[in-house]
């Protein structure tokens, strides 16, 4: 199909490719399971040149999932979902994505084949519950994984993955060569050895005069138990990044001299 | 003020109190910082009888924060935000909440006093950056914390907290006695010693015939390396919970007998 992920694969020179993550699952919202996928996907996408712009976590409720899928797939290049693709009644992601896209859902012959082979190998029976896992919205393509065997799928710009971290990671790896990617956001960290409150105003001025650079300030307690700050400078342009980093370093020297005098 | 959190504090008999969490920060979306607050808040709120219904993570961008604050505060009893209340230019949560609520923002005398005492104790100077941290939307009340001293605030049903986990946790503790809470969602976990695919259909039938009980199914690899399943049964009604749990346990016995025969 024309909007298959694979058709648009490759690097878009200087372009910006965006993504959202939708985590589906009551167990995350109840606190029973601590999500490990958001941070992993965030770091992974940043590394391949896709900007993660938004994350949502919603319960296993059809109306919530459908609304979130439609809101997020409309705004970003890709929507990655995690969770809700197992064999039980609370696994409703596939139906919800079909509803959101307005397409029917059916057993996918390739998924059935994979599940049959898996069931034969593990001594189970191919029952109704396991057949549930082979349903894919019409037009969807399988997302394979080496870990559990059970596939996810992609349709349009929506990539549906498992919630189990090792399986999700294998699926992300599978789709990576098929994704469009943009210019990578480069990043440098400068340790200030000053408190955030000491550098805030001067850092704001540097941020204002470097509009193509995003400057973040992150307080931390250092190895001596002192309040310290990491300044993170990010840009897609390595020269602009270097200029902003140099400005931050010069500012830190200046403030240290001022504070020593005071 | 009439919509102060404190005015509605206490347990609502049989009632349902809901919440959303809004995580604000580029560092979470870039993967540089791994969020530790979502899971903590989820478990904490469940424990005191507040249902976490949705989580969003957005970047340090005004339009995104304002839109998310307005979407979430309208839908749930409470909105808890984390991040963006430090002294640097990328800390814009307070302004954004003021914009979302349509109220002006100004230095809060109580916050100024706290910051002055803190600065005096740590040998800093009360500069423009530190004054930024004392701005609170008009009508907001301070949310104190024993860890860093620097306060968050609440206004209407929005509770604005720090991003640093230890500080956020202290703020959550501070607001707890002032929150409305509902009937606690009770939860029981039954270890199936069967694979999800073996129990899916029967579990779905139990879920259908127990409408006041939420049944979740979570696969895991057990200590023998075998695919196993935890069935989690949740309800606000302890008798309905016990009945559903008993039905799950009976079903597991039945399926084990069937599989042994096959």
The pLDDT value recorded for residue B149 is: 85
B198 contacts: CB under 8 Å, gap ≥ 6: A124, A125, A127, A129, B255, B259
Q: Is A261 on the interface with B (CB under 8 A)?
A: no
A124 vs B44, B195, B218: nearest CB: B195
The pLDDT value recorded for residue B8 is: 66
CB distance A214–B125 less than 8 Å?
Answer: no
pLDDT 10s digits, B37-83: 999 999 999 999 999 999 999 999 999 999 999 999 999 999 999 99
Q: Which residue(s) pair with A218 in the sheet? A: A230
CATH homologous superfamily of A186-261 equals Ribosomal protein S10 (3.30.70.600)
| Residues of chain B neighbouring A42 (CB-CB closer than 8 A) | 28-31
The Cα–Cα gap between B38 and B157 comes to: 19
Report chain B's C-alpha Rg in angstroms: 23
Q: What is the mean pLDDT of chain A?
A: 94
Chain B closest CA to A1's CA: distance in Å? 31
Chain A closest CA to B102's CA: distance in Å? 24
The position carrying tokens 């899971």 is: B39
CB distance B40–A31 less than 8 Å?
Answer: yes
The pLDDT value recorded for residue A81 is: 98
- ipTM field: 0.94
The pLDDT value recorded for residue B122 is: 82
B33 contacts: CB under 8 Å, gap ≥ 6: A218, B25, B27
- Please, which pLDDT band fits residue A261 given cuts at 50, 70 and 90? confident
Sequence spans of domains, chain B: 5-181, 186-261
Q: Which of A8-22, A230-244, B214-228 has the least mean pLDDT? A: A8-22
The Cα–Cα gap between B163 and A5 comes to: 36
pTM of the complete model beyond 0.80:
yes
The chain A residue lying nearest B184, using CA atoms, is A30
The Cα–Cα gap between A27 and B214 comes to: 11
Q: Is A234 on the interface with B (CB under 8 A)?
A: yes
Q: Contact B213/A8 with Cβ under 8 angstroms?
A: no
The pLDDT value recorded for residue A54 is: 98
Q: At what angle do helices A165-175 and A37-48 cross, to 10 degrees?
A: 20
B217 vs A90, A195, A208: nearest CB: A90
Average pLDDT over residues A84-111: 97
Chain B closest CA to A173's CA: distance in Å? 17
The pLDDT value recorded for residue A6 is: 56
**Neighbour tally for B66: CB within 10 Å:** 19
The number of residues in chain B equals 262
Q: Is B232 on the interface with A (CB under 8 A)?
A: yes
The pLDDT value recorded for residue B262 is: 75
B9 in helix, strand or coil?
coil
Give the β-pairing of B186-191 and B214-221.
unpaired
The pLDDT value recorded for residue B123 is: 80
B218 vs A27, A187, A198: nearest CB: A27
**Phi-psi map region of B25: left, alpha, beta (phi>0 left; psi -120 to 50 alpha):** left
* Pick among B19, B45, B85, B129 to test the A interface (most A CBs inside 10 A): B129
Average pLDDT over residues A44-71: 98
Task: List all residues of chain A from 24 to 43 with a beta carbon under 8 Å from chain B.
Answer: 26-35, 38-43
Q: Is B67 on the interface with A (CB under 8 A)?
A: no
| Residues of chain A neighbouring B219 (CB-CB closer than 8 A) | 86, 164
- Please, which pLDDT band fits residue A1 given cuts at 50, 70 and 90? very low
B200 vs A55, A132, A215: nearest CB: A132
B89 vs A43, A207, A234: nearest CB: A207
The pLDDT value recorded for residue A9 is: 77
B211 contacts: CB under 8 Å, gap ≥ 6: none
- What is the fold of A5-181? Molybdenum Cofactor Biosythetic Enzyme; Chain A (3.40.980)
Q: Which residue(s) pair with B58 in the sheet? A: B24
Q: Which stretches of chain B score pLDDT less than 70?
A: 1-8, 13-14
The H-or-E segment that residue A107 falls in is: strand A105-107
CB distance A29–B56 less than 8 Å?
Answer: no
Residue B158, Cα to own-chain centre: how many angstroms? 12
Per-residue b or e along A100-139, where b marks 16 or more CB atoms closer than 10 Å to that residue's CB: bbeeebeebeebbebbeebbeeeebeebebbbbbbbbbeb
Report which of B259, B211, B203 is spatially closest to residue B235, judged by C-alpha positions: B211
Chain A closest CA to B1's CA: distance in Å? 31
| Residues of chain A neighbouring B91 (CB-CB closer than 8 A) | 217
The pLDDT value recorded for residue B1 is: 39
The pLDDT value recorded for residue B190 is: 98
The H-or-E segment that residue B18 falls in is: strand B18-24
A201 vs B28, B60, B129: nearest CB: B129
Longest dimension (CA), chain A: 78
B132 vs A58, A86, A200: nearest CB: A200
């Amino acid at each position: 199909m024309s909007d298959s992920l694979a058709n648009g694969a490759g690097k878009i020179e200087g372009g910006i490719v965006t993504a959202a993550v939708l985590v589906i699952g009551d167990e995350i919202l109840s606190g029973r399971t601590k999500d490990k996928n958001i941070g992993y996907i965030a770091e992974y996408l940043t590394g391949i040149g896709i900007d993660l712009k938004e994350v949502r976590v919603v319960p296993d409720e059809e109306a919530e999932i459908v609304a979130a899928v439609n809101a997020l797939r409309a705004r970003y290049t890709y929507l990655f979902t995690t969770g809700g693709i197992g064999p039980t009644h609370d696994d409703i992601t596939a139906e919800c994505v079909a509803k959101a896209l307005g397409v029917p859902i059916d057993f996918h012959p390739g998924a059935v084949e994979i599940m049959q082979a898996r069931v034969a190998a593990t001594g189970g029976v191919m029952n109704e519950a396991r057949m549930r896992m082979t349903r894919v919205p019409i037009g969807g393509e399988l997302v394979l994984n080496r870990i559990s065997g059970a596939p996810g799928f992609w349709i349009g710009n929506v990539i549906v993955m498992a919630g189990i971290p090792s399986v999700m990671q294998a699926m992300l790896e599978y789709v990576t060569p098929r994704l469009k990617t943009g210019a990578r956001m480069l990043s440098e960290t400068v340790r200030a050895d000053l408190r955030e409150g000491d550098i805030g105003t001067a850092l704001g001025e540097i941020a204002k005069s470097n509009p193509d650079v995003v400057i973040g300030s992150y307080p931390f307690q250092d190895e001596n138990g002192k309040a310290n700050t990491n300044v993170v400078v990010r840009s897609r342009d390595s020269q602009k990044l270097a200029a902003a980093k140099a400005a931050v370093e010069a500012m830190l020297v200046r403030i240290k001299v001022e504070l020593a005098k005071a």
